[in-house]
């Protein structure tokens, strides 16, 4: 199957699978069990996918570059400015929409971004480097700004919030990287066998994406928010998605890394975004992560289509 078709099929499969499953009332008693299975299966898939992807990355290639500071600056400054706006105007209209936009802007790079970057003929090692940097930056920026926005309702202090975020990203980012390097230097034969499977990481991502889209459909259909509010959040996430892909490509292009730049800034860890919304902000803002999951995968599908078309 051509890579350009893989993501659209995964998206459509996720949507159809969810609605088909919930429409079979004989399976209603299985909903809780299935939710628990997916809660373990999804991170397990991401872990294996990252491990396979990181097996192809050398430690020497993971060097932070100057242009990454520009993208870090964009994410942190835009997030902080919107947060300052809310702090200064307590009863500002559309507060939930602004907070949704904040989440989309500060959200770290998706753990699968290096996989898609490889398919787009970009440099995955720079994406991995930026992913590590932005996760650390987000762990500091989110509790710093949010603590002022929801000062009266904050359940966690800065240290607790920082620890929670690091604990969320470490198992699915650092551990597969360390394990990949361990296998590379201690079990070279196994490492060569893993690397020989060219599309394994991408195919695992397609399965994980199917589950993610199904979960997104569940969140959208079960919300009690108004259609207008959901539409505004969806548009805010779409706007931030397009802007970040554009800015990332522009910054990357200045340093001969247009694909890595676009994916580093545009492709987001939407599971993390949903968690941040539920944990630190108005719970409705978690919907922004769900909508963003659709938008960035639609853009990725289009990019894969263009890349595949140019190869024929």
CA distance 242 to 281: 23
What percent of the chain stands above pLDDT 70? 91
pLDDT tens-digit series, residues 252-261: 999 999 999 9
- Token representation of residue 257: 């890394």
pLDDT at 150: 61
Winning range, highest mean pLDDT, from 25-39, 96-110, 269-283 = 96-110
Is residue 153 predicted with pLDDT exceeding 60? no
* pLDDT score of 244: 96
Instruction: Note whether 259 and 121 are within 8 A (CB).
Output: yes
Question: Residue 80: its pLDDT value, please?
Answer: 92
CB 48 within 8 A of CB 171: no
Closest listed residue to residue 134, CA positions, set 269, 288, 297: 269
Q: What is the pLDDT of residue 3?
A: 53
Half-sphere exposure of 294 (CA within 13 A, CB side): 20
- Cα torsion 284, 290, 296, 298: sign: negative
Q: How many CB atoms lie within 10 A of CB 85?
A: 14
What average pLDDT does this structure show over 52-80? Answer: 84
**pLDDT, tens digit, 9 for 90 and up, residues 272-297:** 787 777 777 777 787 888 889 889 98
């Amino acid at each position: 199957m051509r890579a350009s078709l893989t993501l659209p099929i995964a998206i459509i499969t996720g949507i159809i699978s969810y609605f088909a499953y919930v429409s079979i009332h004989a399976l209603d008693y299985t909903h809780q069990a299935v939710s628990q299975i997916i809660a373990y299966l999804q991170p397990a898939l991401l872990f294996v996918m990252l491990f396979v992807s990181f097996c192809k990355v050398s430690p020497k290639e993971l060097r932070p570059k100057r242009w990454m500071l520009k993208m870090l600056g964009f994410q942190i400054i835009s997030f902080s400015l919107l947060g300052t706006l809310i702090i200064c105007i307590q009863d500002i209209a559309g507060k939930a929409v602004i907070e949704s936009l904040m989440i989309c802007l500060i959200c770290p790079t998706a753990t699968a971004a290096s996989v898609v970057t490889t398919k787009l003929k970009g440099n995955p090692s720079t994406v991995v480097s930026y992913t590590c940097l932005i996760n650390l930056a987000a762990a500091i920026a989110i509790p710093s700004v949010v603590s002022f926005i929801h000062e009266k309702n904050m359940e966690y202090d800065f240290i607790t919030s920082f620890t929670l975020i690091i604990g969320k990203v470490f198992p699915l980012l650092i551990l597969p990287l360390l394990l990949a390097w361990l296998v590379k230097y201690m079990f070279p034969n196994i490492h060569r066998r893993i690397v020989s499977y060219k599309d394994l990481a991408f195919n695992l991502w397609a399965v994980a994406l199917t589950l993610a889209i199904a979960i997104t459909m569940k969140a959208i259909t079960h919300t009690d928010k108004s259609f207008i509010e959901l539409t505004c959040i969806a548009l805010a996430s779409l706007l931030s998605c397009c802007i970040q892909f554009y800015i990332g490509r522009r910054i990357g292009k200045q340093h001969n890394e247009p694909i890595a730049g676009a994916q580093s800034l545009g492709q987001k860890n939407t599971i993390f975004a949903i968690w941040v919304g539920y944990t630190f902000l108005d719970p409705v803002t978690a919907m922004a992560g769900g909508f963003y999951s659709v938008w960035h995968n639609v853009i990725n599908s289009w990019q894969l289509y263009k890349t595949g078309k140019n190869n024929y």
